[in-house]
Structure 1
Amino acid sequence: MLGLMQNRALVLPNIFHRAERYFGHKPVVTATAGDTVSTSTIADVCGQVRRLATALDALGIGDDARVGTFCWNTEQHLALYFAAPCTGRVLHTVNIRLFTEQIVFVVNHARDEIMFVDRSLLPVLWPLAEKLSTVKYFVVIDDGSADSVPDDSRVLRYEQLLSDNEPYEGEFDVRDENTAAAMCYTSGTTGNPKGVVYSHRSTVLQALATLAADVLGLSERDVVMPIVPMFHVNSWGLPYAALLTGSGLVLPGPNMTPKALVTLLADHKVTVTAGVPTIWMGIAPLLGDYDLSGLRIILSGGSAVPTALSQRYLRAIGVPITQIWGMTETSPVATLCTPRTHHEGLSEDERLRVQARQGPPVPLVQLRVCDPATGAEVPWDNSSTGEVQAAGPWIASAYYESTDHETSFTDDGWLRTGDVAVCDEYGSVLLVDRTKDLVKSGGEWISSVHLENEIMAHPKVSEAAVIAIPHERWVERPLACVVVKAGESLTAEEVIEHLEPRVAKWWLPEAVEFIDAVPKTSVGKFSKKTLRAQFENYRLAEGGSSGMQ
């Protein structure tokens, strides 16, 4: 027996037409490269979408073509989020922080036919133009930058393109919800980046889940400021969710300095914001200077949030940092750590420890923690470690035109994330490390993430990263790479003394090296690959000296 419900596809035109009809009056604020702020509306953005739809047809961009973007978080980028998929094309947001050879690889691998680029980013993209073999046009968006625009027949102006084309009339129609809507490439920490292709169905379902009370509880009353880039995993799905529910949007544009960001948060009474931990570290010293009373949730993902940082926000503005976990392959929201009934009655310190977890999976996502050797699930006892594996309607099943399937997916179709975690009795995940970042000392595992969090709790420490270094007796031992706050002084002995009451004795770093800054990946995570290369000749000798050899 079949249900007697209408079979309507879950496609992005549903979100577009709802936003256009019901929320056209809601504000969309964009900061420009010229330190000005422009305010438009969802109706204005929808108007751009309709003109872009006609323009893409007029330029002869294929029905199933990839539409590349090389842009900051702006209203024009938001328009492209809908113009490409609502016309049956595929949005390809290119990470502007990839190495140049990786940019060339992903654009050519995706076979982008057209690239939309912010004027301030032209100096990065245009020198690569001759290597981008499939790109027919480069459409320059004026973001207030003074950078020159090449005199080339392939170069078009966004504003002129809109004015030259009438808006598309009628409703957008995508019949198959499994049609590709967008694609994003992994950050390529090992080998070339891999393409992840999101369907209309997966995108709509995740946007709906974001509205759930135990996820973000996003509503029409919210003002959302996604600091996480729109070129990275669709800005964690926030642009789609915001238009689905009619939230106001504040888009920070190219000025990502802490002062610029916190000013936007305060001036526009932002209620929901999201970014990686390095963003919140940069803003932390400014918390006392701005009215952030509008904020109700601060999301952080990409890497673990130090408990001390979350505590600093809680005490300064009354809102802790909420952990979110996912990856390009999970669209990315897979878990979110919100308070539950069994947390009632906890002290502030206990609550902060809970909030340091990545949390339980959001609705419709399944997670399991498995022994990587045997494949068997480990107990939910908060101590047994294993690899996190994920399944669900917005979890990747394969990579775009890639043979890397066997090592990334299990035989029964679950995504192997490469993250090592423990799980408590309530299903709340706590990441211990990446499989490649664990330190195996004398046959026992040491969590580099846990050590980093404890080191960064020291009041004189700005950043810290821990990597494994070869050791004559124990095979590997931890090396702590520490960044001291400006104007402070710190010794290796003080770091060890700080750690002694906080971790097991055998976890204590064998050595501490002070560095100017922890290198970052293209998405703002600590680049331990870079640190390992920097200290590849470092040796830890039993009973001997430590250092570069």
Structure 2
Amino acid sequence: MAPVVPPTGPVFLTQLTPLSLLERSADVFGDKTAIVHGERRISYAEFAAECTRVARALQASGIRPGDRIAYLVPNLPEMLIAHFAVPLAGGVLVAINTRLSTEEVRYVLDHSGATVLVVDAALHPIVAPVAGELLSVREIVTVLDPAAPGDGIGSGFSYDELLARGSDEPLPWAVDDENATISINYTSGTTGTPKGVQYSHRGAYLNSFSELVHSKLSPDSVYLWTLPMFHCNGWCTPWAITGIGATHVCLREVRGDVIWALIDEHRVTHLNGAPTVVTTIMRAPGAHSLDRPLVITTAGAPPSPTTLKQMSRMGFTIVHVYGLTETYGPHTVNEYRREWDALDEDARAKLQARQGVGMIHTDLIRVVDADLHDVPRDGATLGEIVMRGNNVMTGYYRDEAATERAFAGGWFHSGDLALWHPDGYVEIRDRAKDIVISGGENISTVEVEQALMAHPEVVEAAVIGVPDEQWGERPKAFVILERGAEVDERALIEHVKTAIARYKAPREIEFVDALPKTSTGKIQKQVLRGLPS
């Protein structure tokens, strides 16, 4: 008798969703510590149980499938739980930037149509002035963090009261449609009204696996939350770290001394952040060389070769990635090649500063001209980076016109100008809006910044274009020096002229104590230009 062959076809396929990642870890690593925050310890079994209770509580509060649930909460356990509890309840997570103003928070809440807002008690004063004026929010839930209690619970009710509405009745860790929206992340709005970037369950799931591969995470990993969870859902690492069964160490705010204390106490193996966050870590009190591997995955701005060299000397393993909110965070990785081991330190760091190649889950990245033709891979011709694939957003929420513009020609347009090298690696030269055109010549502000950072007494640098009667524009630099540094403006300009073409050097350098930054560590060049943030 012939063996029975089960039927095959789409009906037997499982829809991809990050929810399944916690279901597995709760089953496989139930007794293992999943989350650490201060004295709190939450096992994977407890993690899953609280997600179920929050999801049931949200359902009891009247949310329906597709409803948007907003969180204005720092990197606390409640924010991690939200990444699973909200979609488990059938909702869409809207994680709000904790550094926004009252009016900016109002805009995000009104535009997203959020029906429930969960807010950290210490951040409640941001919401309080408009709490009774929001268009769609029916309930405000306040989280009290024992590590940083607010002045009072304020309006609404407490997180504990929300939990009391829930139950332990199981919910399926599954979705009917993997292309449904799991979260909406709002762009910074530095060049216009913030746009709501929609992520799908499928995209978030696949991006999570790519994070695991490229940052070399394992069940033994200990991940420190230096990256805001509101930023691209923490580059999808709330789902990735959970899926591999590693340990999350929560961090309310980025402070160098606290970071080093947690690194040493918990034997941290991984963290993520922008180059400015990396600089904070390296310059913090208590900074020291490592006696074990610690992987820093960095993105948000091109890191300078100088920074990469310093990190390597301290014992950090660097994973340099690049992406945007519209690409779920990282889209490319500087894939390290073993033949670079034979190079000297400077040459190796220069190669590592490039943005690299598409990550394992992406369609291959392209650099194109205005007609969407690939530019030559000659390391000299400038073009725009375009992408498409599973980890490119499904569109801007309630903004079809902006979505159509972003995907002109069938590819997502990054707005980043780059070179394409013969080995296939891309290297960003600037944002299209930041390039300085002086006397008809394009000057990359990134290139000038890296030349400044190569000086041993320079801590950070930012370069913008300013008007020039003769040349139209010229570069101007803002520089933070090491404490007690003796270098002056003339000497620093001459240093730059030895590193790059002389005409690219700034004619003016303003020494400052700090640079304006977003909550994710990006330098706000529009503020340096005298424009509102």
Normalising by the smaller structure, the TM-score range is over 0.9
1:530 partner SS: helix
Assess if the C-alpha contact under 8 Å between 2:56 and 2:165 holds in 1: no
Q: TM-score, normalised by structure 1?
A: 0.91
Report the equivalent of 1:25. Answer: 31
Q: Deviations over 1:49-99 (max 9, x none)?
A: 011111111111222210100111121111110011122110110111223
1:458 partner SS: coil
Q: Deviations over 1:249-280 (max 9, x none)?
A: 11112x32111112112211111110111111
2:386 partner SS: strand
Could you tell me how far apart the structure 2 residues matched to 1:483 and 1:128 are? 38
Q: Deviations over 1:347-402 (max 9, x none)?
A: 22222111111111102322110113x33210111111111001111102421111
1:326 partner SS: strand
Gaps of 5+ in 2: 1-6
Question: Is residue 2:506 matched to residue 1:509?
Answer: yes
Report the equivalent of 1:188. Answer: 189
Question: Is residue 2:233 matched to residue 1:234?
Answer: yes
Q: Deviations over 1:334-353 (max 9, x none)?
A: 01113124434222222211
Report the equivalent of 1:265. Answer: 263
Assess if the C-alpha contact under 8 Å between 2:477 and 2:509 holds in 1: yes
Report the equivalent of 1:220. Answer: 219
Could you tell me how far apart the structure 2 residues matched to 1:114 and 1:170 are? 20
Assess if the C-alpha contact under 8 Å between 2:26 and 2:44 holds in 1: yes
Report the equivalent of 1:247. Answer: 246
2:402 partner SS: coil
2:424 partner SS: coil
Assess if the C-alpha contact under 8 Å between 1:66 and 1:92 holds in 2: yes
| 1:538-549 alignment, distance < 5 Å | none
Assess if the C-alpha contact under 8 Å between 1:45 and 1:78 holds in 2: no
Report the equivalent of 1:540. Answer: none
Assess if the C-alpha contact under 8 Å between 2:20 and 2:174 holds in 1: no
Q: 1:523 to 1:296 in 2, by over 3 A?
A: closer
2:30 partner SS: coil
1:112 partner SS: coil
Q: Deviations over 1:501-534 (max 9, x none)?
A: 1010111112112223211124321111111116
User: Which has the larger displacement, 489-498 or 269-278?
Assistant: 489-498
Question: Is residue 2:526 matched to residue 1:529?
Answer: yes
Could you tell me how far apart the structure 2 residues matched to 1:151 and 1:268 are? 35
Assess if the C-alpha contact under 8 Å between 1:323 and 1:358 holds in 2: yes
Assess if the C-alpha contact under 8 Å between 1:368 and 1:390 holds in 2: yes
Could you tell me how far apart the structure 1 residues matched to 2:165 and 2:22 are? 23
| 1:167-206 alignment, distance < 5 Å | 167-206=168-207
Report the equivalent of 1:415. Answer: 412
Q: 1:55 to 1:291 in 2, by over 3 A?
A: farther
How far does residue 150 in structure 1 lie from its aligned partner after superposition? 4.5
Q: 1:151 to 1:96 in 2, by over 3 A?
A: closer
Assess if the C-alpha contact under 8 Å between 1:438 and 1:445 holds in 2: yes
Report the equivalent of 2:474. Answer: 477
Could you tell me how far apart the structure 1 residues matched to 2:161 and 2:289 are? 39
Could you tell me how far apart the structure 1 residues matched to 2:429 and 2:358 are? 17
How far does residue 320 in structure 1 lie from its aligned partner after superposition? 4.4
Could you tell me how far apart the structure 2 residues matched to 1:315 and 1:344 are? 14
Could you tell me how far apart the structure 2 residues matched to 1:442 and 1:26 are? 62
| Count of aligned positions | 522
How far does residue 22 in structure 1 lie from its aligned partner after superposition? 1.1
Could you tell me how far apart the structure 2 residues matched to 1:260 and 1:151 are? 29
Report the equivalent of 1:56. Answer: 58
Report the equivalent of 2:210. Answer: 209
1:130 partner SS: coil
Question: Is residue 2:13 matched to residue 1:7?
Answer: yes
Q: 1:355 to 1:203 in 2, by over 3 A?
A: same
Could you tell me how far apart the structure 1 residues matched to 2:290 and 2:127 are? 36
Question: Is residue 2:489 matched to residue 1:492?
Answer: yes
Question: Is residue 2:331 matched to residue 1:330?
Answer: no
Could you tell me how far apart the structure 2 residues matched to 1:250 and 1:207 are? 18
Q: What is the aligned counterpart of 2:464 among 467, 476, 498?
A: 467
Gaps of 5+ in 1: 536-549
How far does residue 175 in structure 1 lie from its aligned partner after superposition? 0.9
Could you tell me how far apart the structure 1 residues matched to 2:264 and 2:387 are? 37
Report the equivalent of 1:448. Answer: 445
User: Which has the larger displacement, 21-30 or 53-62?
Assistant: 21-30
